[in-house]
Amino acid sequence: MAKRFTAAGEVSRAIQAAGEGDFASLFEGETDEWWAFVRERIDLGADELVIRIDFEDASFGPWCVWLSFSVQERGTALSLDDVFVPDYENHPGAALANPEGREQVPYFILS
């Protein structure tokens, strides 16, 4: 899923809001589609959701973070458990790999 932020503070606030259950900053007008995707994955038995968010930084270039959510309360809530930032300095191709021990189910916004 691609998303562009213009300042590091926006990224931090969006991740914090997602941790509190507000996904509007991450998905903007696609929040309903995100929750439909989450409900579908939970109905299929998922107990963890891992999403990748791509960023563009004027001085650094493209980069990403992975957010790991676990399903809580018998499938009625999510908790943000981990934020993974690839080690670009030591492993330039790290953004192409899933976080160790995690499986990504692709989430696409089609318009």
Tokens of 50: 């891992």
pLDDT band at 84; cut points 50, 70, 90 = confident
More confident residue, 37 or 89: 37
100 vs 45, 68, 90, 94, CA distance in Å? 21, 12, 16, 11
Report DSSP state, residue 52: E
| Domains in the chain: boundaries | 8-96
Tokens of 39: 């409900």
Each residue of 19-66: pLDDT tens digit? 887 888 877 777 888 888 888 888 888 888 888 777 776 776 777 778
- The answer to whether residues 69 and 79 touch, using CB atoms and an 8 Å cutoff, is yes
Tokens of 101: 């021990």
pLDDT value of position 62:
73
pTM of the full structure? 0.69
